[in-house]
Amino acid sequence: MATTKDYGADSIRVLEGLEAVRERPGMYIGSTSRKGLNHLVYEIVDNAVDEHLAGFCDRIEVTLEADGSATVNDNGRGIPVGMHEKGVSAERVVFTTLHAGGKFDSDAYKTSGGLHGVGSSVVNALSTYLEVKVSREGNVYYDRYEKGVPTVELEKGLLPVLKTTRKTGTWVHFLPDPDIFDRTDFSGTEMKSRLHETAYLNPNLTIIFEDKRKEDNDHHEYHEPDGLIGFVRELNESEEALHEPIYLSGEADGIMVECAIQYVNDFHENVLGFCNNIFNSEGGTHLTGFKTIFTQVMNTYAKEIGILKDKDPNFTGTDIRNGMTAIVSIKHPDPRFEGQTKTKLDNPDANKAVSSIIGEQAVLHFDRNLDELKSILANAERAAKIRKTEEKTKTNMLTKPKFSFDSNGKLANCQSRDPKECEIFIVEGDSAGGSAKMARDRMYQAIMPIRGKILNVEKATMDKVLANAEIKTMINAFGCGFSEGYGNDFDIEKLKYDKIVIMTDADVDGAHICTLLLTLFYRFMPELIYEGHVYVAMPPLYKAIPSKGKEEYLYDDRALEKYRKNHKGNFTLQRYKGLGEMDAEQLWETTLNPENRLLKQVGIEDAKLASHTTALLMGNDVPPRKAFIYEHALNATIDA
């Protein structure tokens, strides 16, 4: 096929648009880390899901090819290939124009994609090559691009035909551009989780995932006819459920509202919000509406049944949601998001619609299911009791003199008081802690050694958590308090360190301590993670000492492999078992010095995975925990 020729003024403008994507990829896909890489696939999948929502597609295949490329295939109508007003095939417009065509932006429910239909052209711009086959009107049409630039010559603006077919659908195949991404190996684990989630949110859709990069192909078929009910069941699979999941749904003001609820015999709440199939990690108006109306309905029942007397104060929202797992999913024709990360829904009418549908449907449901109602209210009563006791504990704690972290001798603080430049290292073990104290830049780096395992916060109650000396010291050192269901005293503005760095050994115990710390932050100080303050230090695994030339620290097995390949001549390999094996100088050089060290930023956007994992991690099995740490570390972005 011939290569690109003259595309006229319009196309030049188009290409300039895609150039902007290549210049600032983060603006379009969030980041160029592995997370951003996976996003490329989700963008294409989301278009296929839109086609499903439009009622024309019930099967999507996602394949991670052995050579690092990816293929997404659907059985919808096929992207339109006819002449667009711009003088080329509509397909070309879709793949080369940012915000492709206002026409589909405004169509109700054509909004499953997180980036509102801009997806195809963004993926195209960030791919070394991208190929499209559209099966439509009896033909298979073909197009191809390199870094967003078409390489197929059109005949009177129209696409070449490869062959005839009776089928319809769209096939997109692309290779992410290594010039753009930090790494180009998709995370299969994360992708499977997201595709499974999409299947739960779209009960009539089947998604087939295949990973051909592995020796024995990883093959999964996701079809979840029970939808949100199945989703809630999965979230609660390792818990003791108090009743069958409750499903409520309806439509108000053009907004579709769906919700599944199930209580478990545990004390935390897990309420997740989705808008147009996209997870909203920071919640938003749909969740506010849900929480407010549900609290109101349950308090009304509590008074009606006599669990609360007229003079009693109402249960708080957190009392009511004690042990609740819920998913609220809405379809909104024009979703708006708040904040930088665009993960908090902002439409006021979403609050109203959810409130109206859930208010009405919950009453219809509980009027007919009194036993369920009673067990949920009994749960709320228990929570209220605990809350009252804990409020007392907290008051007592606050009236006692504040413990100072200087006096308990643990924290070696830094001299600077400018949070923007300060870092705190939480170091496993007294010996590594001692070396770190000597090695650090005491102007900016604070060291807090922790001994062995901290308390398992997932299972412990609030007063135990607060009574734990190491946790107390940590909360005190960070300076912003802590939040939990029972009141929110956390203030990120008061954080005294820009970076909180977990520094544990690269072994199972280290992984365990790291997990416990992440759980503590996730449960009681989630903003630390959301705002990107939490990091995991990656000390080197090896030191290569060549017979001639400079010694080199190697941070993982990949680095070792590379060193082996590139290094000519003999070298001795020293393997580090733990931080304690390094002297102060080595520790500075490898792990503390911002010039050389490798830090991985911890992120929790995918709270489904996180909340799932937190529960999973706190089981008695060590292997899943270890897997989590490794997966987390791999997904994290490197802070160079």
Catalytic residue among 46, 50, 428, 606: 428
Burial 233-254 (b: 16+ CB within 10 A, else e): bbbbeebebbeebbbbebebee
Contact segment (CB under 6 A) with ligand 1YM among 29-37, 98-106, 421-429, 584-592 equals 98-106
User: For residues 46 and 458, which CB has a smaller minimum distance to ligand 1YM in the complex?
Assistant: 46
CA distances from 475 to 442, 465, 524 (A): 21, 11, 10
Query: In this chain, which of 30, 101, 434, 481 binds ligand 1YM, going by CB under 6 A?
Result: 101
Q: Which of 390, 441, 498, 509 is catalytic?
A: 509
Of the listed 304, 507, 531, 551, which one is catalytic? 507
Comparing CB distances to ligand 1YM, the nearer of 43 and 211 is: 43
β-strands 139-146, 218-223: how paired? unpaired
**Binding residue (CB under 6 A) for ligand 1YM from 39, 52, 77, 233:** 77
Contacting residue, 37, 88, 90, 345, with ligand 1YM by CB under 6 A: 90
Q: Does 69 bind ligand 1YM (CB under 6 A)?
A: no
Backbone angles phi, psi at 201, to 5 degrees: -80, -15
Q: Measured from the CB atom, is 40 or 432 closer to ligand 1YM?
A: 40
Q: Of 110 and 440, which CB lies nearer to ligand 1YM in the complex structure? A: 110
Q: Which is nearer to ligand 1YM, 169 or 526 (CB)?
A: 169
Q: Is 507 a catalytic residue?
A: yes
What's the min distance (Å) between Cβ of 101 and ligand 1YM? Answer: 5
76 binding ligand 1YM? (CB under 6 A): yes
Dihedral sign computed on CA atoms, order 502, 505, 507, 510: negative
Q: Which residues contact 144 (CB under 8 A, 6 or more apart)?
A: 1, 129, 130, 131, 132, 150, 151, 152
> Residue 596: left (phi > 0), alpha (psi -120 to 50), or beta?
alpha
Of 70, 79, 232, 330, the residue at the interface with ligand 1YM (CB under 6 A) is 79
- 72 lies in the binding site for ligand 1YM (CB under 6 A): yes
- Nearest CB to ligand 1YM, comparing residues 333 and 532: 333
Give every CB contact of residue 605 below 8 A, 6+ residues apart in sequence: 35, 279, 281, 341, 343
Which residues does residue 503 pair with via DSSP β-bridges, in sequence order?
427
Give the shortest CB-40-to-ligand 1YM separation in angstroms. 12
Q: Tell me if 112 contacts ligand 1YM by CB under 6 A.
A: no
Residue 414 CB partners (closer than 8 Å, separation 6+)? 422, 423, 424, 440, 441, 442, 443, 444, 445, 446
CB of 481 to ligand 1YM, least distance (A): 47
Which residues on neighbouring strands pair with residue 546, listed in sequence order?
571
Q: Which residue's Cβ lies closest to ligand 1YM?
A: 47
Backbone angles phi, psi at 330, to 5 degrees: -120, 155
> DSSP secondary structure string, 126-191?
TEEEEEEEEEETTEEEEEEEETTEE-S--BTTBPPEEEE-S--EEEEEEEE-TTT-S-----HHHH
Question: DSSP per residue over 440-459, as a string?
Answer: S-TTTEEEEEE-SPPP-TTT
Nearest to 578 by CA among 432, 459, 441, 437: 432
Place of tokens 């907004």: 255
629 sits near ligand 1YM (criterion: CB under 6 A): no
Using CB under 6 A, pick the residue from 75, 124, 170, 202 that binds ligand 1YM. 170
Per-residue x/- marks for ligand 1YM, 17-46, CB under 6 A?
---------------------------x--
Shortest distance, position 170 Cβ to ligand 1YM, whole Å: 4
Minimum CB separation from ligand 1YM for residue 274, in Å?
Answer: 21
Q: How far is the CB of 173 from ligand 1YM (least distance, A)?
A: 9
Report CA 459 to chain centroid distance, whole Å. 23
CA atoms within a 13 Å half-sphere pointing along the CA-CB vector of 238: 11
Q: How far is the CB of 104 from ligand 1YM (least distance, A)?
A: 4
Could you tell me how many residues make up the chain? 640
Is 505 tagged catalytic?
Answer: yes
CA-to-CA separations, 66 to 185, 210, 217, in angstroms, rounded: 10, 10, 10
Among 43, 74, 177, 505, binds ligand 1YM (CB under 6 A): 74
Mask for 41-60, x = binds ligand 1YM (CB under 6 A): ---x--xx--x---------
Binding residue for ligand 1YM (CB under 6 A) from 68, 80, 546, 580?
80
- Who's near 171: CB < 8 A, 6+ residues apart? 71, 72, 73, 132, 133, 134, 135
Contacting positions for ligand 1YM (CB under 6 A) = 44, 47-48, 51, 72, 74, 76-80, 90, 94, 100-101, 104, 110, 170, 172
Residue positions annotated with a catalytic role: 428, 505, 507, 509
